[in-house]
Structure 1
């Protein structure tokens, strides 16, 4: 590998991204902390939910303050994703203003508005480079490191019977789907960085192997399918231009064929997680909640704008579907806006020429689209909106750099010196 490609996962992207202030990465990390949530398994040291909410909301306020500090001139990169995300605030506020969902709905609207405003401030550094990909990998790897530390300190608390022995966060309350999502995203992005020769293999192995172990321990089917399909689409976009991508694709297909033949029963048992066939086909009871939500009567206002931002549940049970959660809380208007920014990002990615940033964007967009079927989050401040924000930063056109202006030097006046005639040389006429 070349010298510029051996800086590890945490290395800087050459070019404009190298001039990104360090506080931008700090602000991004605080946004990640804000979206970790406050509900999950019991931790080793009991943490009051009010304390966790105070930490996460404080992180969002601090992220906005830092983003404003480094962007006092309010320079932003306009884009369809942020524009549509801002429009999503309209049905959120309209549905939450009547207080049918309580004051918590207005609080969630304020949180979403501050979240979107922070993304607008950070969009100044969205230049099509890999800067935010590296921030994303570093921050979620730190979260997974805390999960691994909790499993080492207290294996019983990290894999409780309440969750069927699946891995949870024992130091910070994280559910198995959350851990699986974070692991799948950083695995996919790191593999793509290696294929694009933007990360050395030693650093990549140090990230991918532990993340794979944690993903396997969570038994998260959605994250696994999203990882495999997202990587297949992303690598497929590089096959025609990258020999490394072609080799990896052939090897991956070969390994998948061997695994399907030799470990088919083990893979099937891992996916079933000890569930009955009926429970598996009903998506662990999610289908019953979805049917009840769709059958519930709604007023015209609720149909158009929803019932207000809530905790993504219906009848006390989690909805676990982004589209139905948006329909319930922000109505068909919210569904149309969410579909619009997914389609716009996907369309822009398809129109871009093959490149590593485009492949990373395709992976993130496809992963979010797949995960939206069994997980909520596309209509509120969540890791999924951060994943799509990274995709938008990768698809942004490089910022035009203004040419450096050279100061004009004062012209020195020189006295007129009469020209001396050389003897023997005839004079030339001024006019021919």
Structure 2
């Protein structure tokens, strides 16, 4: 699979004649990004074919984060960093996290999660040196998550029963690595959207894109993940909409997508309804599979002023033993109102910068990622801690970063040539008669 096809220039990119620093991204940066993704895969999920102790999984994921930080530090020993509002806001998010976790009400695990978040943010600071608005990190993102989906597909082939257990209603899970259906749906939706945009921008050929899109779409359908599917469609619509005025390929794709969606809605309405309902009754669907009950209980729980402002400390994104499954309520519970303000500022800043940028493929990819994370935040937690959603937003920040321009140094002074010394005529003849 190749995603480096650049034979045709992207006509949506604006010309930039500003001299740029020749600081190529080291190949090891792709490894660092892959290790960050491995760290955010999590340790909770379905039963795998070969039982994996949770302690072993946590050791692998935390080891990946430490290795990512060490490698990033090794290639950036001089600690050259670029100013980044996104990473700065994540650094500020550490403040309420540490304050709320310091009283140990949530146990030592809260301080451990704070240290994990600090390492995660520190690695992003080190990587920010190579954020220049290019598609380098997009390709790393697609390749790593496609490898994760490859493990899911392998588990489905090896043991279909373990990959689609009755415990999850026959939805696809990770049988080799413990992954839940929403996780798999999220990874599939994100790389499908990014690959479609690369095709529209003529940054990869259709054959290579089909290798990524087709199997990922099949896995997305098997997960029955409504949030990921909605995020994919809405995110792509907004991203392609940002290219319509400057890209003929985007206009053609948008037109065909609308026609295909209309035909599918008419011809396959019953099948789509069955897939969407997932066998749930009206009451279960209206309560978002029981999430609304947890949310109501969380909001009704008594809290001190300190807990409202700073939260109760970083935890496992659960309340009363049940998952919160909402980023905003999870942040409110663990990092308080300050955490909500900082996370909202992150989304607003990224969205504002994206709207101010001229139309380009990088901008379209960033819009897709920001809109996807905003939609998924309603039924998924993760915006306040080291998670795939923060990695998606970090990728968006790297796409919106302006290329580093070389500093204009004054030209070295050229020594002025002295005029030849004039010799008097009487002194020119050195012969003595």
The TM-score, its normalising length taken from structure 2, stands at 0.91
Distance 2:217 2:424 in 1: 85
Pairwise mapping of residues 209-220 of structure 1 onto structure 2 (< 5 A)? Answer: 209-220=214-225
| 2:69 is aligned with 1:64 | yes
Structure 1 residue 339, shift from structure 2 partner: 0.4
The answer to whether the 8 Å contact 2:48/2:174 transfers is yes
The one of 135, 145, 169 equivalent to 1:130 is 135
CA contact (8 A) 2:120 2:386 kept: yes
Give the direction of change, closer, same or farther, for the CA distance of 1:6–1:140 in structure 2 (3 Å limit). farther
Residues 17 and 125 of structure 1 are in contact (CA less than 8 Å); yes or no, is this contact kept in structure 2?
no
1:386 is aligned to 391
Give, in whole Å, the separation in 2 of the partners of 1:248 and 1:97: 52
Q: Contact 1:77 / 1:123 at 8 angstroms: preserved in 2?
A: yes
Cα distance in 1, alignment partners of residues 415 and 205 from structure 2: 52
5 Å matches for 1:136-151?
A: 136-151=141-156
Paired position in structure 2 for 1:76: 81
Of 163, 175, 180, which aligns to 2:168?
Answer: 163
Q: Unmatched 5+ residue regions in structure 1? A: 8-14, 421-432
- Between the aligned partners of 2:82 and 2:128, the Cα distance in structure 1 is 5
Cα distance change of structure 1 residues 411 and 217 upon mapping to structure 2, 3 Å threshold: same
Contact kept? 2:231, 2:372, Cα under 8 Å: yes
Instruction: Give the Cα–Cα distance (whole angstroms) in 1 for the partners of residues 44 and 52 of structure 2.
Output: 11
Distance 1:171 1:249, change over 3 A: same
Aligned match for 2:159, one of 134, 154, 158: 154
Where does structure 1 differ by over 4 angstroms across 4 or more consecutive aligned residues? 15-18, 402-420
2:184 to 179, 183, 189: 179
- Root-mean-square deviation (CA, aligned residues, Å) is 2.2
Between the aligned partners of 1:3 and 1:408, the Cα distance in structure 2 is 44
Helix, strand or coil for the counterpart of 1:63? helix
Shift of 1:5: 3.2
Alpha-carbon distance in 2 for matches of 1:267, 1:413: 87
Once the two structures are TM-superposed, the CA of residue 205 in structure 1 deviates from its matched residue by: 0.4
Partner of 2:119: 114
Structure number with greater CO (CA < 8 Å, separation at least 6) is 2
Query: 1:17–1:157: structure 2 CA closer, same or farther, 3 Å change rule?
Result: farther
Alpha-carbon separation, structure 2, partners of 1:31 and 1:70: 16
Q: Aligned runs of 1:274-293 on 2, under 5 Å?
A: 274-293=279-298
Residues 415 and 386 of structure 1: CA distance in aligned 2, closer, same or farther (over 3 Å):
same
Distance 2:261 2:424 in 1: 87
CA positional deviation for 1:414: 9.3
Retained in 1: the 8 A contact 2:100–2:311? yes
In structure 2, the residue matched to 1:273 is 278
Equivalent residue for 1:4? Answer: 6
SS of 2:314's partner is coil
Q: CA deviation at 1:80?
A: 1.2
Q: Does 1:356 align with 2:356?
A: no
TM-score normalised over the length of structure 1: 0.92
CA distance in 2, matches of 1:323, 1:37: 20
Tell me the CA shift for residue 412 of structure 1: 8.6
Question: Is the aligned partner of 1:326 residue 2:331?
Answer: yes
Distance 1:405 1:208, change over 3 A: farther
1:137-156 Cα shifts (integer Å, max 9, x gaps): 11100100111111111111
The count of aligned residue pairs is 413
Q: Distance in 2 between matches of 1:299 and 1:3?
A: 56
Give the conservation status (yes or no) of the 8 Å contact 2:373–2:389. yes
In structure 2, what is the Cα distance between the partners aligned to 1:262 and 1:17?
54
Partner of 1:229: 234
Whether the 8 Å contact between 2:163 and 2:172 is mirrored in structure 1 is yes
**CA deviation after TM superposition for structure 1 residue 328, in Å:** 0.3
Alpha-carbon distance, 1:4 to partner: 2.8
The alpha-carbon deviation at position 313 of structure 1 amounts to 0.3
Secondary structure of the 1:323 match is helix
Asked if 1:198 corresponds to 2:203, the answer is yes
1:33 to 33, 38, 51: 38
**Which residue in the other structure is 2:47 paired with?**
42
Q: Does 1:89 align with 2:94?
A: yes
